[in-house]
Amino acid sequence: MAAVTAAVSVPTSTSSSSLGRIALERATFPCPDRSASFQKTFFGGRLNNSDAALLFARVRTVPLNYRQSVKAQVTTEAPATTKVVKISKKNEEGVVVNKYKPKTPYIGRVLLNTKITADDAPGETWHMVFSTEGELPYREGQSIGVIPTGIDKNGKPHKLRLYSIASSALGDFGDSKTVSLCVKRLVYTNDQGEVVKGVCSNFLCDLKPGEEVTITGPVGKEMLMPVDPNATIIMLATGTGIAPFRGYLWKMFFEKHPDYKFNGLAWLFLGVPTSSSLIYKEEFEKMKEKSPDKIRVDFAVSREQTNEKGIDDIITSLAAEEGIDWNEYKRQMKKSERWNVEVY
């Protein structure tokens, strides 16, 4: 099962409608006038013949090996307007990206590496902490690259693999000198009956304290933590997709910051195959004890529950009950930085 991470940030304004709340609470949602909204957004009213003469269209296609799409732009002559400066809802200010690259990586050391799933779980998940000595500044929601030792089947050094950071910017030790990962050991049997081990996941899970690890990054802005301390943040993850949200939640409930105090609602949905695969459960329980009105945690256990569907499927069906087109609504939320997804 691929690790999936999705976050929905709900504005604090009481006038804003939230499909995230609809889909997960099954609340009533006031349907907007879709036809009027579409006309305003894409057409801006009817066009007469003279307007039509001023139109032009531009089409661009993306190579098929990535995704095929067509973008069209239609404009009319209009008075010059003041450019609107977009203010990001994410904690982007001062974010560092790609400080360390494959040719100039950072060499950290393993401080801790421990298995966090039960012995009878279908697969192993490990939590590991690496030293950075404060030289790898990152934000909650970013990722780092790891380059495993050794060479590939072609005799070349292994390429880096990306992993979501599973700690807050302060790190598990609270001194901004460490970075943590949550890694599932990949082992499977192929069609020829051969046991195949994932190169980087096994390298990481086998590391011992004191050993070196080659790190690149940090990278990514898609999953940066929402800047609004009063927002409702709905987090959906499967397996090790929990990593960025652990960083969020530590900052919200375990740390003190002079410029940040979380007063919103954090609602986490974590999907795992079995109860023995649940990770960080004790941490979530402590958070609920500290701030019972600010956090909710729900688990979806796929092999023990018979009514589970995929994230997109269930939200689509629940949205339809309220007369909402989920794909269109999701597009609007993504545009306003309220819907963010990463899949590795």
> What residues form the annotated binding site for NADP(+)?
164, 184, 240, 272-273, 302-303, 342
Which two structure tokens, joined as six digits, stand for 229?
Answer: 């301390």
Which two structure tokens, joined as six digits, stand for 240?
Answer: 């090790």
Find out whether 21 and 27 touch, Cβ atoms under 8 Å.
yes
Which two structure tokens, joined as six digits, stand for 242?
Answer: 């929990």
Instruction: Round to whole Å and give the CA distance between 135 and 120.
Output: 38
**Residue 275: CB atoms within 10 Å:** 14
Which residues sit in the known binding site? Answer: 164, 184, 240, 272-273, 302-303, 342
Residue 167 carries which DSSP code? Answer: S
Provide the strand spans (E) within 220-264: 232-238
Helix 243-253 and helix 281-290: axis angle, to 10°? 30
Which two structure tokens, joined as six digits, stand for 284?
Answer: 């979530």
Which two structure tokens, joined as six digits, stand for 85?
Answer: 């400066």
